[in-house]
């Protein structure tokens, strides 16, 4: 892979892009292979424009493999395409916002081919509307979406996200059978001392799940994940036979697509790291014990996915099979 380092200084902050022909090669190979199993991670930012306050004006989107997030960046800055990193395979696609929200969102796919390189090229609006490839199907709101991470605040019954961070940097990479995004948060401040957090989100060329690995420089209480709570959609919690893993899940009409659509969402977590389950006004929260590291999985399953899961029964059968695998192998 040939890396070209482009460095620009905005407002006294050094922003490093690593733009690579390798990502273009990955896209071309996936498209050439048609509907063969693939995984894909993407990060695309505007270049050639300028910052005006918290808005990036002008420029065109270019894929990069690494980025130090500029201090001006926030939600809806028009700087990062679809506002974050993208993870995709034949069955589903996700994005994680690279701003204070830090939520994970779902792009439902109606095709088995690669779609992310074309999503959001014309701005924020189009991918919220039904298209031949699919659309953004989850309303995360002010929650962590599905499977993202934050810190549960007992006093206020609320999940703190990433409103106060000294700096954030991100890298994406594509391998033969998996793709990942690695995000470094320096000086994440909630309450108490600030901490440094490294996260890695990996999608594979099979199934719908993403593995999340979190590592902190100091142990903290309240580290959590969860699922956005949609009104009138109940949650289900199941523990594995050997009590090594568990999942929390929801299923029902909880998408932004057609009213009759069904979406299942789940988080698998290790019992030895589990502290408690909390339901806030907006989120089904899995709170971990005080820790420096934890790994877990999340997934979504949309009823319009080609040859996908169509019913609640099928969804929970699929989850139970995965739970059994985790119970036996400690990984999917």
Can you give the pLDDT at residue 126?
86
Q: Are 268 and 237 in contact (CB under 8 A)?
A: no
Q: Is the dihedral of CA 304, 119, 200, 33 positive or negative?
A: positive
Residues 134-160, mean pLDDT to the nearest whole number:
95
Instruction: Report whether pLDDT(10) > 50.
Output: no
Q: Which residues contact 295 (CB under 8 A, 6 or more apart)?
A: 211, 212, 213, 214, 270
Cβ-based neighbours of 146, under 8 Å, separated by 6 or more: 104, 105, 106, 138, 140, 227, 228, 265, 267, 298, 299, 300
Mean pLDDT value of segment 242-256: 96
Say what the pLDDT of residue 22 is.
Answer: 67
25 pLDDT above the threshold of 90: no
Pairwise CA distance, residues 73 & 262, whole Å? 34
pLDDT of residue 196: 98
Name the pLDDT band for 225 (thresholds 50, 70, 90).
very high
Supply the pLDDT for residue 6.
34
Confidence of residue 5 (pLDDT cuts 50, 70, 90): very low
- The confidence band for 188, taking pLDDT boundaries of 50, 70 and 90, is very high
**CA atoms lying within 13 Å on the CB side of residue 314:** 12
CB atoms within 10 A of CB 121: 13
Tokens of 258: 């057609």
pLDDT at 232: 93
CA dihedral 18, 293, 209, 268 (to 10 degrees): -160
Calculate the CA dihedral of residues 90, 91, 97, 103 and round it to 10 degrees: -160
Determine the average pLDDT of the residues in 242-252: 98
- SS3 string, the chain, reads CCEEEEEEEECCEEEEEEEEHHHHHHHHHHHHCCCCCCEEEECEEEECCEEECCEEECCEEEECCEEECCCCCCCCCCCEHHHEEEEEECCEEEEEECCCCCCEEEEEECCCCCCHHHCCCCCCCHHHCCECCEEECCCCCCCCEECCCEEEECCCCEEECCCCEEEEEEEEEECCCEEEEEEEEEEECCCCCCEEEEEEEEEECCCCCEEEEEEEEEEECCEEEEEECCCCCCEEEEECCCCCEEEEEEEECCCCCCCCCCEEEEEEEEHHHEEEEEECCCEEEEEECCEEEEEEEEEEEECCCCCCCCCHHHHHHHHHHHHHHHHHHCCC
The 10s digit of each residue's pLDDT in 109-119 is 999 999 999 99
Question: What's the predicted TM-score (pTM) here?
Answer: 0.93
**Is the CA virtual torsion 133, 138, 143, 145 positive or negative?**
negative
Residues 161-184 have pLDDT tens digits of 999 999 999 999 999 999 999 999
**CA dihedral defined by 301, 305, 173, 26, rounded to 10 degrees?**
170
Q: What is the pLDDT of residue 319?
A: 98
CA–chain centroid gap for 73, Å, is 18
The count of structural domains within the chain is 1
Q: In the predicted model, what is the mean pLDDT of the chain?
A: 92
The percent of residues in the chain predicted with pLDDT above 70, rounded, is 93
Residue 159 has pLDDT above 50, yes or no: yes
Q: 10 Å Cβ neighbour count for 5?
A: 9
Confidence band of 20 (pLDDT split at 50, 70, 90): low
Compare 15 and 277 and report the one with higher pLDDT. 277
Domain that residue 265 falls in = 3-329
- Amino acid 110: pLDDT: 96
In this predicted structure, the answer to whether residue 108 has a pLDDT above a threshold of 60 is yes
Task: Give the C-alpha separation, 77 to 56, whole Å.
Answer: 6
Question: Binning pLDDT at 50, 70 and 90, where does residue 73 land?
Answer: very high
């Amino acid at each position: 892979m040939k890396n070209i380092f482009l460095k620009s200084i905005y407002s006294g902050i050094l922003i490093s892009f690593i733009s690579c022909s390798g990502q273009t090669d990955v896209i071309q190979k996936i498209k050439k292979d048609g509907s063969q199993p693939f995984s894909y991670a993407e990060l695309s930012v505007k270049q050639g424009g300028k910052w005006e306050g918290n808005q990036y004006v002008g420029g065109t989107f270019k894929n990069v493999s690494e980025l130090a997030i500029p201090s001006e960046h926030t939600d809806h800055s028009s700087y990062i395409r679809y506002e974050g990193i993208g993870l995709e395979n034949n069955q589903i696609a996700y994005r994680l916002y690279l701003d204070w929200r830090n939520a994970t969102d779902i792009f439902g796919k109606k095709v088995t081919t690669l779609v992310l390189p074309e999503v959001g090229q014309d701005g924020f609006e189009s991918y919220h509307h039904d298209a031949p490839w699919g659309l953004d199907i989850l309303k995360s709101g002010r929650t962590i979406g599905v499977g993202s991470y934050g810190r549960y605040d007992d006093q206020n019954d609320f999940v703190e996200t990433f409103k106060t961070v000294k700096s954030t940097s991100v890298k994406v990479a594509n391998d033969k059978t998996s793709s990942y995004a690695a995000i470094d948060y320096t000086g994440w401040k909630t309450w108490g001392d600030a901490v440094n957090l490294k996260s890695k989100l990996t999608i594979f060329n099979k199934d719908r799940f993403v593995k999340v690995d979190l590592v902190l420089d100091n142990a903290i209480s309240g580290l959590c994940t969860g699922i956005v709570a949609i009104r009138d959609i109940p949650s289900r919690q199941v523990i594995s036979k050997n009590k090594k893993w568990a999942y929390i899940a929801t299923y029902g009409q909880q998408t932004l697509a057609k009213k009759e659509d069904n979406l299942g969402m789940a988080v698998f977590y290790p019992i030895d790291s589990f502290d408690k389950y909390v339901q806030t006004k907006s989120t089904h929260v899995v709170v971990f014990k005080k820790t420096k590291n934890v790994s877990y999985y999340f997934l979504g399953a949309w009823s319009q996915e080609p040859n996908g899961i169509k019913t609640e029964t099928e969804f929970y059968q699929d989850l139970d099979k995965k739970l059994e695998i985790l119970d036996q192998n400690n990984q999917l």
